[in-house]
Amino acid sequence: MGARVSGDTDVFARPRWRNRARFRTAGQRILRHVLARTAAGKDADGRAFAPYSAAYAKRKGVDPASVDLRSAGRGPHMLDDLAVVEVSDEGVVVGFANPAMDDRADYIVNGRTPRNFMALEDSFLDEIVSFIADGITD
């Protein structure tokens, strides 16, 4: 599970676009964006996350409508593991270094009550591509 901006597309395949520092910064911007949007309780489409079930909310001691994907329980929190996990001259990956947290994120996105928190909006992707391309000409 991760957000990937990479050299898979023609536009990033141009040699002058290969810039590790720009991709690292883009990854950090993606990370901040996903964390801020998730903390606000919004999915990748800008909609509020589906509420927690009454049983889950009671067990965790949280308000069912205040969904920010931060469990009130003990142990490591999935969002604390979200990081820029790979950077190269051709791309960046924002994801989870811990496989258990990656599995947890996959369940949140694809489970019984899907909450799509990792996808990136087209407008934000346009921003990231513009940032990477800033100052580069053909």
Q: Where are the domains of the chain?
A: 2-132
pLDDT at 136 (0 to 100): 61
Cβ atoms of 2 and 95 closer than 8 Å? yes
Task: Kindly report the length of the chain.
Answer: 138
pLDDT at 104 (0 to 100): 92
Cβ atoms of 116 and 53 closer than 8 Å? no
82-92, pLDDT tens digit by residue? 999 999 887 89
Cβ atoms of 28 and 94 closer than 8 Å? no
**Entry pTM:** 0.82
Give the mean pLDDT of the chain. 85
State mean pLDDT over 118-129: 91
Band of pLDDT at residue 70, cut at 50, 70 and 90: confident
101-116, pLDDT tens digit by residue? 999 999 999 999 999 9
Considering the chain, what percentage of its residues have pLDDT values greater than 90?
57
Closest by CA position to 26, among listed 46, 6, 55, 45: 6
Percent of the chain that is helix, strand, coil (3-state, to 5)? 45, 10, 45
Q: Is the pLDDT of residue 7 over 50?
A: no
pLDDT at 87 (0 to 100): 93
Distance of alpha carbon 43 from alpha carbon 47, whole angstroms: 5
